[in-house]
């Protein structure tokens, strides 16, 4: 059995996978570029994977894309699927995010299996077992099985009624994914089994069984948006016929999740900003 030569933290792996999800596809040409997305594979396995895919370019078939499993971060006995497609340039490939899939073993009991997209008879993608085992070995404490507390799940769109689209609709600031045994867990402080995240990869794992419910809340006061205005701020906007006449305020747990996500995004944006090099600007002396 090949031993992975690269073991990132769960957070580092999640960040890499999230970036790929947002990009949807990324050019790849080497083992080093593949490594962050396949921590469960050894260098030899990744190089063989690239070699096999390179040979697929010469096959007489319309679809030369190959699919591979990579570890999940939240749902036990599940995995994400990435695809690798050879392109015209020599030794060049396109790595793309495909989907997340659960297995029957992702559930605490068969009675909790509800409308999942997987088919038990379907063959597992290549390296699925390695992906499942790796997640279990490396971040077992972060994994959970689907149980009765996953009865309800959905998304909350946090929108800004002060910042409108060209059509007059509030722009999206962030999205919260949640699951609970209560349909209104995200606005009921008494509920204690709520799990909420702003990460799209974790959200995809929560929502593998379907889209779930949708809610729309204000980024300024965290209360529900009415059809054409914020219920609390009373800032008006045009109705895009997506919202329902919901009321309520998000729980402190959800608010803290949103604020932590926004703070992380702001810090990431600052890290990409570079100081200007305007003419005439004086540099501070470096202390040695």
Q: What is the pLDDT of residue 181?
A: 85
**Domain spans of the chain, in order of start:** 10-142, 148-271
Strand partners, 174: 158
Residue 124 clears pLDDT 90, i.e. is over it: no
Most distant pair of Cα atoms in the chain: their distance: 71
Phi-psi group of 232: left, alpha or beta (phi > 0 → left; psi -120 to 50 → alpha; rest → beta): alpha
CB 80 within 8 A of CB 69: yes
- Residue 90: per-residue pLDDT: 65
DSSP symbol at 121:
T
Mean predicted lDDT score pLDDT of the chain? 84
Task: Kindly report, residue by residue over 145-196, the tens digit of the pLDDT.
Answer: 887 666 788 999 999 999 999 999 999 999 999 998 889 999 999 998 899 9
Q: How far apart are CA 94 and CA 28, in angstroms?
A: 6
Q: In the beta sheet, which residues pair with residue 241? A: none
Q: Does the pLDDT value for residue 197 go beyond 90?
A: yes
Residue 110: name the closest of 74, 75, 145 by CA.
145
Please report, for residues 149, 179, 180, 189, the alpha-carbon distance to residue 192 in angstroms, rounded to integers and kept in the order given.
Answer: 10, 11, 9, 8
Cβ atoms of residues 82 and 37 within 8 Å:
yes
- With a CB cutoff of 8 Å and minimum separation 6, the contacts of 235 are 161, 162, 218, 229
Contact 83, 67 (CB under 8 A): yes
């Amino acid at each position: 059995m090949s031993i992975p030569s690269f073991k990132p933290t769960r957070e580092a792996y999640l960040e890499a996978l999230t970036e790929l999800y947002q990009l949807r596809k990324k050019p790849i040409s080497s083992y080093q570029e593949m490594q962050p997305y396949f921590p469960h594979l050894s260098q030899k396995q990744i190089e063989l994977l690239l070699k096999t895919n390179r040979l697929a370019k010469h096959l007489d078939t319309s679809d030369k894309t190959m699919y591979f499993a990579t570890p999940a971060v939240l749902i036990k006995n599940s995995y994400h699927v990435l695809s690798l497609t050879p392109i015209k340039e020599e030794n060049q490939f396109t790595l793309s995010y495909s989907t997340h899939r659960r297995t029957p073993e992702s559930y605490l009991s068969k009675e909790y299996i509800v409308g999942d997209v997987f088919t038990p008879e379907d063959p597992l993608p290549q390296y699925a077992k390695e992906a499942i085992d790796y997640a279990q070995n490396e971040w077992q404490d972060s994994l959970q099985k689907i149980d009765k507390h996953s009865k309800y799940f959905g998304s909350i769109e946090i929108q800004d009624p002060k910042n409108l689209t060209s059509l007059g609709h509030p722009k999206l600031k962030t999205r919260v994914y949640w699951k609970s045994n209560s349909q209104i867990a995200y606005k009921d402080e008494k509920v204690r089994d709520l799990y909420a995240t702003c990460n799209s990869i974790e959200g995809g794992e929560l929502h593998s069984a379907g889209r779930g419910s949708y809610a729309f809340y204000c980024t300024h006061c965290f209360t529900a948006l009415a059809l054409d205005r914020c219920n609390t701020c009373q800032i008006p906007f045009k109705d895009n016929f997506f919202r329902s006449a919901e009321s309520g305020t998000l729980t402190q747990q959800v608010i803290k999740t949103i604020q932590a996500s926004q703070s992380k995004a702001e810090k990431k944006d600052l890290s990409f900003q570079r100081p200007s090099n305007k003419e005439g600007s004086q540099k501070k002396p470096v202390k040695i």
